[in-house]
Structure formats: structure tokens, C-alpha cells
Chains A and B, each alone.
Chain A
Amino acid sequence: MKFLGYERPGGSVGIRNLILVVSVADCSEPVARMIAQGENGAKAVTQHYGCIPGQMVANTLIGIGENPNVAAVLLIGMGCEGMPASALGKMIKGSGKPVEWLSIQEQGGTHNTVTRGKQILRSLSEKASGLNRQEFDASELIVGVKCGGSDTTSGLAGNPAVGVFVDMLVDAGGSAIMMEPIEAVGAEEPLAARAVNNKVREKIYKMIGDEEKRWSVPGAQMEFMCRGNVEGGLTTIEEKSLGAIHKSGSRKIADVLENSDRCLEKVPKGGGVYLQDGTHMEPMAMSFMAAAGAHMVIFITGCGGTFGHAIVPFIKVTGNPETYRRMSGDMDVNAGTILTGEESMESVGKRIFNEVIEVASGKLTLGEALGYDNFSVFRNDPRLDALLNIST
């Protein structure tokens, strides 16, 4: 299978041609938004952990700047941050794409920064818009899989159908990432049985065990299952997890990608199924997967969901026929046909693959057409990890 993508410096391939305006801390976010507003293909993003947010946040912002869907990057900082725009900019520049940065204090305030920022953006945009889509093999694709708003149809239809797609993608030489550290509790054994070797097997147990420790602190109100899950018929975290891991298909797990203060490991060349450490919370997980190199994310839901991501298109699949009927304007793929007996799992898996190829080639997802461009960043609390003796 082939798709039409954008060639990037260093040999990677993008499926979108975005200009990213990154405000390195939330204090400079309004200026970044003013710069991006009204500029074709520009997206403004930021993080909300302040101006000394820690290395995990820096890794994520660098990673999304390097993501091949991004043609060029403009970073905006106030000027006094612990994590300056120039430092992040120099790291992203290593990818070979055009990167510029501005300090609001140096530029002399809002007016000058917005004027200068718009000038820079237009010149970046001119270059980017000159790129044409070319044909590439599906083996170049890196697809994230994430479920949310799960009900029992997720484990019975939505996730297994996406699992069929993941098997097809991996067999075609492509890569898939699953990030579900907490929704693997109770599903360690079937995951570990798929580890490519003992080292990966141990990493799987450690990643899930560490996350279980973080969510089992006595006295804290822990919400790893939402009310919708329980109303939808899910009874325990084990049931939720065993349904959730179906979306990673059945092929060998090539590695667990580290995601810590030390590093945010990217999906290596060569294809395969990867687990990535991180969080189960959807928009934040998508930012992590984008930072690891994902081109797009498939979201599997039972209850429904209406959001997207600034950098990676988001294909929404529901296994619940009733949810598809109610929310068909938001759901890209109806996998509810499996439960009504109209279609086989394989047939839906193939439909998902076709949708992935079309979206990779430029077709807008329903979320993109609606303008959804969520962006948020997650970090583990370093104090909690220190208290729990969780080491990387």
C-alpha cells in the first residue's frame, strides 16, 4: 500500500504540512496565539507547567517540533524562562527543518513580537507551501492507538478491529504505538508473552508496575475508571485492560519506549509494535505519541468523544452501534457492525487500514474538519516518583 506524504529532511515523511508556533511556557501563550491567528496552516501550542517545567516537558516540546507532520517551527518565549525558546529551538533544528525563535522581552513587547512573528511565519509558510505530496510506502507510517470513554463494546469490537488493522500495518512494515500504562494492569501476562525478548518482557512488567504504584497511593482519590466505564458495563480494571490491549493486535512487541526526564525514546526505523510509557489521559498521550514520531492516532471509544490534536490527525472508531448512530458526525469509523453481525472483524480492520491510507494522503478526519486542535502536555510528578522509589 502507498500513500502521499511530504518528504522531510533526514528522510522522514510527514502526512500534514503544519507550521508550529510553540510558546515555551503558558505566560507567552497569548502572543503565540496572536501570531498564529489567521495564518494558514499555523497552530499555536503551549504547556502549562510554568517556566521551569522539567526535562519531561522539554522532551515533549522538542519531540513535537521534530514530528514530521510539522514543516517548520517558530518558538516564542518571554525571555526569562528556565527553559528558553533558543535552547529548545536549537534542539529541534537538529532535525534539519527551518526553526526560528523570538524572545518577547528582547523584541520589545507584544506589538513588536507579533509583527516580527507574523513576518517569520509567512516566510516559513511560503517555503512549506511549495512542497508537494509524493508517493511513499505504508511501511513509513507510525500510527498510535489509544482508547477512551470505553464501554464493553470497546473490548468486544472497537479495540479488536483496530488490532486487526495493527497486524496488517506491521505485516506491511509499518509501526504502531500503544500508550496504556495503567490500562495494562491485569493484562501484563498476555502483553509480556508477546515481548520480543526477555529484556523487553522485564520492561513491560516494570512500566506497568511503576504506574500501578503511582495510582495506588493510600488515601488518594484515584480515578483510573470513569463513571461511563462502569455504566457501560465494565466492572474492574482487569476487564478494562484486557479489552484495551486488543488494539495493539497480536504481533511481537518490539520494545517499550522510555519516556522520562532522561529521554523520550522515538520509534526506531524498521516497523513493529511499540509500547510507550506515559499516561492514559488521551490528549496528553497523543502529544507523547506525536513526540515519539506518530503520524496519526486511532481513538477507539464506546461512549463517544469529540476532540482532536494539533499535530496528529485523530481517527475515531466506535464499536458501539448506538454511539455511532447518535454521534456519526464525529465518528470516522463504525465498528458497531461487528456486534450487529453485519460485518466481520477482518472486514472492519481492512476498512480502518483504508481510512488510515486516505488520511495519510490528506483526507481530513471529521475532527480535523471540525477544527479540533487540542494540545496538552503531561509530566510525572518528580516528587511522587522520588517518594515511591521509582527509578528510570
Chain B
Amino acid sequence: MKRALMMNDEDNVATALEQLEGGVPATAILPSQDVFKQVTPEKTIPSGHKLAVKEIPKGDHVVKYGLVIGNAIRDISLGDHVHVHNVMSNRMQMPEVWYREGVDR
């Protein structure tokens, strides 16, 4: 099964270690290589991108490394791609041109 890595068991996102296919279950592992849970991506998740391993309601913290990396700007479901289209920094916003080229916010 393809793998996604969580850096801390408090995290609500995991990083895809290879491209994950939509609808095909993948394993979310911890740095110890222990399996945290199985999660089915909503759609293709490119290698290095994140998917939700827990529900993240709009306004809640997105957590990686056990620390806050931003806030959900819409409801995020289990298995959703988590990136600039549904997360915003609490500190500094990057130039809009970068996310227009990626995914519309």
C-alpha cells in the first residue's frame, strides 16, 4: 500500500511519500514507521503534498510537526488534498500569483 508520513501523532495531515491515487486506500505512517490509520484520498495527491487524516472544520488549525501551520478556510474532509486552496497562513500571505497557478482559492 502507498504511504503518507505524519510527523507527529497530533497532526491532522500526512505528506504523500509517492503519488497517491484517488479512491485507492493509502497508509498514514508515523516517523517510527508505525501505522496510524488507513486513509482514502479524494483524488490524486502529488508526491510531497498533504492529505487530511482527520476532519478539519473551517477555521480550525491545520497541524503538522505537532504545531500549527495555518487555518482551514473551508471544511476539510478525511482524505482531502490539503494545500493553498483550503489553508491560509496566520502570519504572512504569499503572492497570489503562486496559488492562481496552482489551485484556485
A: which residues have CB within 8 A of B?
A: 151-153, 155-156, 185-187, 189-190, 212, 215-216, 221-227, 230-233, 235-239, 242-243, 302, 320, 322, 339, 341
Q: Are A239 and B70 in contact (CB under 8 A)?
A: yes
Instruction: With both chains docked as a complex, state the minimum distance between the C-beta of A167 and any C-beta of chain B, in angstroms.
Output: 16
How many interface residues does B have (CB within 8 Å)? Answer: 33
Q: Are A237 and B89 in contact (CB under 8 A)?
A: yes
Known interface pairs A227-B98, A230-B99, A238-B69; 17 further A-B residue pairs with C-beta atoms within 8 A, sorted by A's residue number: A152-B49, A153-B48, A186-B89, A190-B67, A221-B95, A224-B94, A226-B98, A230-B84, A230-B94, A233-B15, A233-B46, A235-B50, A237-B89, A237-B94, A238-B89, A238-B91, A339-B5
Q: Are A239 and B33 in contact (CB under 8 A)?
A: no
B62-88 CB mask vs A (1 if < 8 Å, else 0) is 101101111000000000001110011
Inside 8 A of A151's CB, which chain B residues have their CB? 48
Inside 8 A of B94's CB, which chain A residues have their CB? 222-225, 230, 236-237
Q: Are A236 and B48 in contact (CB under 8 A)?
A: no
Inside 8 A of A230's CB, which chain B residues have their CB? 83-84, 94, 98-99, 102
Chain B stretch 16-73: residues in CB contact (< 8 A) with chain A: 16-17, 33, 46-50, 62, 64-65, 67-70
The total of Cβ contacts below 8 Å across the A-B interface reads 95
Please name the residue on chain B nearest to A223 by beta carbon: B95
Inside 8 A of A233's CB, which chain B residues have their CB? 15-16, 46-50, 83
Inside 8 A of B68's CB, which chain A residues have their CB? 186, 238
Inside 8 A of A190's CB, which chain B residues have their CB? 67
Sorted nearest first, the 4 A-B pairs with minimum C-beta distance are A233-B48, A236-B89, A239-B69, A233-B49
Inside 8 A of B5's CB, which chain A residues have their CB? 156, 339
B: which residues have CB within 8 A of A?
A: 5, 7, 15-17, 33, 46-50, 62, 64-65, 67-70, 82-84, 87-92, 94-95, 98-99, 101-102
What are 21 A-to-B residue pairs whose CB atoms are below 8 Å?
Answer: A152-B48, A186-B68, A186-B89, A187-B67, A221-B95, A222-B94, A225-B98, A227-B101, A230-B98, A233-B49, A235-B50, A236-B70, A236-B88, A236-B89, A238-B67, A238-B68, A238-B70, A238-B89, A239-B69, A242-B69, A339-B5
Instruction: With both chains docked as a complex, state the minimum distance between the C-beta of A132 and any C-beta of chain B, in angstroms.
Output: 45
Instruction: With both chains docked as a complex, state the minimum distance between the C-beta of A323 and any C-beta of chain B, in angstroms.
Output: 11
Instruction: With both chains docked as a complex, state the minimum distance between the C-beta of A106 and any C-beta of chain B, in angstroms.
Output: 49
Inside 8 A of B92's CB, which chain A residues have their CB? 185, 212, 215-216, 222, 224, 237
Q: Are B95 and A236 in contact (CB under 8 A)?
A: no
Instruction: Given the known inter-chain contacts A221-B95, A225-B98, A233-B15, please indicate yes or no for A243 contacting B83, CB distance below 8 A.
Output: no
Instruction: With both chains docked as a complex, state the minimum distance between the C-beta of A356 and any C-beta of chain B, in angstroms.
Output: 24
Docked Cα-Cα span, A170 to B33, in Å, equals: 28
Q: Are B95 and A235 in contact (CB under 8 A)?
A: no
Please name the residue on chain B nearest to A231 by beta carbon: B102
Please name the residue on chain A nearest to B70 by beta carbon: A236
Q: Are B49 and A222 in contact (CB under 8 A)?
A: no
